[in-house]
Amino acid sequence: MFHRMNKIPLYVIGSLLFGIKTYIVYRFLFNIELDNIMQEIILFINPFVSAFLVFAISVWLKEERQMKFIRYASLIGSFILYFNLIFYRNFTDFLTIPVLFQGSNAADLGSSVLALINIPDILLFLDVAIIWYVSKKYGNSLTVSYKKRKKVLAFSLSIAFLLGNYILAEIERPQLLQRTFDREYLVKNIGIFNYHIYDIVQQSKSKAQRVFADGNELTEIASYMNNNTTDNSQTDLAGIAEDKNVIFVSLESLQSFVINNTLHGEEITPFLNDLIGDSYYFENFYHQTEQGKTSDSEFLVETGLYPLPSGAVFFTHGQNEYNSTAELLKNNGYSTSVFHANNKSFWNRDVMYNNLGIDQFYDVDAYEVTDENSVGWGLKDKPFFEQSIKYLQALPEPYYSRFITLTNHYPFDLAEEDATIDKFDSNSKTLNQYFQTVRYMDEAIKDFFDQLKAAGEYEDSIIVLMGDHYGISDFHDRAMAQYLEKDEITAYDHIQLQRVPFMIHIPGEDGKVISKIAGQIDVKPTLMHLLGVDDSNDLSFGTNLFGDNRKEYIALRDGSFISDDYIYTKDQCFNRETGELITSETDDIKGEAENAIPNKCEPIEQQVQQELTYSDQIIYGDLFRFYDFNNKNIDSDENNSNENKKK
């Protein structure tokens, strides 16, 4: 049988085997949404296009090297595909070049990575095993010395298939390579391997931006911020927390769907539910993080800028000039600190914190961590807060201190003796365990409040609690639909699940529930408003959440947005209140051109893309090095600008 195979070019056999494997991964292991038959067709053909493009290179090699090339191309391609699958299972996203440079985080992933590996995954390397077996046994009979005409034909077909794939993708998704906030669109239209090539090109371009930046771009960006995001109006709450300590707690992976909700007839977060009554609670508050997750949420809170579309700013641009929340407060007499029982190098925090003006970082070395008081990613939340109190009491007042919790982190492991609510019963182990670690964190926050009161740190502080990012990705949609008693999780539901808790507790104030849309980018100006700190010279895309002149939308990093009336995501526009899909004002027939952006969402969608692009320009170009925040002056001479900042 194998002797007859030499009638079929070896690179064609390799392309077919690898293409079939890749399509199976796309269709059944990635949770890629397909909205129409055209997307189905493109998703089917692009694995074979990519495989043919690579394997056809072998025709230009000598006979003895052809089989070796195909063997190693198949092996390397399989590892690239598998690493993306592992990453996708946790983050519902695809690897990027900046993420690969965050490899120093890998040593701390531990059980998280192991939980993502399944024994059946070995089948993904079956085609590699077949190719290696055949090449070893029948290699000589399968290789061919190709004539120049056939080499050119193979090359021409590769390019023709690639162009055909791209043309179909452009028909399905116009301006595909210009509107790249959503990596899923790139993968399902051009394939994961071509996507990686595109990512390399984009990252190379971004690295060059800083070299050629001169600060002139800031004039337009600053004007946009002043006209569209700045709100200098004063409210009754302006300065209500002046000179008070700020205790900011980052609630790991906590989503709003558990707040005021139950499991097995029990409240999941009883303490946080009660605290809402004594706090300013924003029930429509969205996380805006991307691949940097917790570090992205920190970046949003500290800078009022959006994180990057790929990688983590903490890694890729940790040396940039910023004007952080910590620096603004230091200029007003605050000491600044972060408490987090993890390695100081994780997310490059030891470098980034210095650049953000953090005076003291209490990392894992500041804590007594044992096998008994740790689980998953490290020190459990209860001993974490308990051991932190002594450090908090020793800080010069007023202080701005951020606490980052750990226990409610994927894969949401918890010792049986620490679990005070039963697991959920679904097909998702991740969601089943999530409720237990959420309850544990809720109990830890309750204990922390008691400890603050006992230590005398409560009355003269404001306490801010914020979910940092989602905990349950859409990889677990089926189980989530079961818990929420829905038939399915739609694109609209997915956006609503990006809501995370945000509450500001001011002792002595009654507080209230606020329904206006809000996001993490708004935290910085909101805190400055409450603390009575002048931030009129700051540049930020956020708005004071208590002000009247707020912009009408919250932008997510993938280009989706939530406005007062609409939710826009994946080229679909929904009524925010009802979830009903809104069609174009010029065509009321549902089922119109799938790629047309409905008119009601289009104006905001364009502004969102402009705002995200402006933020990227600031970060990639390190544009704040040209800005004097004291005098609100742009200086294209970097040396003069930095000198002014020092003054």
Catalytic residues: 294
In whole angstroms, what is the distance from residue 154 CA to residue 160 CA? Answer: 10
Q: Which two tokens stand for residue 612?
A: 């995200």
In whole angstroms, what is the distance from residue 161 CA to residue 320 CA? Answer: 42
DSSP H helices in 455-490: 477-483
User: Among 494, 548, 549, 555, which residue's Cα sits nearest to residue 521?
Assistant: 555
Q: Compute the CA torsion angle 106, 110, 112, 118 (nearest 10 deg).
A: 100
User: Among 98, 206, 324, which residue's Cα sits nearest to residue 617?
Assistant: 206
For tokens 């409905």, what's the residue?
598
What interhelical angle do 37-55 and 192-212 show, nearest 10? 80
Report helix, strand and coil shares of the chain as percent, to nearest 5: 50, 10, 40
In whole angstroms, what is the distance from residue 219 CA to residue 156 CA? Answer: 47
Query: CB within 8 A of 160, min separation 6: which ones?
Result: none
CB 307 within 8 A of CB 292: yes
In whole angstroms, what is the distance from residue 126 CA to residue 14 CA? Answer: 12
Say how many C-beta atoms besides its own lie within 10 A of residue 622's C-beta: 19
Query: CB within 8 A of 192, min separation 6: which ones?
Result: 22, 26, 50, 80, 81, 84, 94
Start-to-end Cα distance in the chain = 80
Maximal CA-CA distance, the chain: 85
What interhelical angle do 148-172 and 183-190 show, nearest 10? 140
CB 131 within 8 A of CB 2: no
In whole angstroms, what is the distance from residue 351 CA to residue 328 CA? Answer: 19
User: Among 291, 332, 279, 270, which residue's Cα sits nearest to residue 466?
Assistant: 279
Query: CB within 8 A of 9, min separation 6: which ones?
Result: 59, 144, 154
In whole angstroms, what is the distance from residue 186 CA to residue 177 CA? Answer: 8
Say how many C-beta atoms besides its own lie within 10 A of residue 367's C-beta: 22
Residue 78 Ramachandran class (φ > 0 left, ψ -120 to 50 alpha, else beta): alpha
190 backbone dihedrals φ, ψ, rounded to 5°: -120, -5
In whole angstroms, what is the distance from residue 557 CA to residue 183 CA? Answer: 11
User: Among 315, 277, 279, which residue's Cα sits nearest to residue 296?
Assistant: 315
Strands 633-634 and 566-569: unpaired
What would the DSSP string read from start to end of 205-246?
HHHHHHHH--STHHHHHHHHHHHHT------TTTTTTTT-EE
Q: Is the alpha carbon torsion for 429, 89, 34, 18 positive or negative?
A: negative
In whole angstroms, what is the distance from residue 409 CA to residue 254 CA? Answer: 9
Strands 561-563 and 553-555: antiparallel
In whole angstroms, what is the distance from residue 133 CA to residue 552 CA? Answer: 61
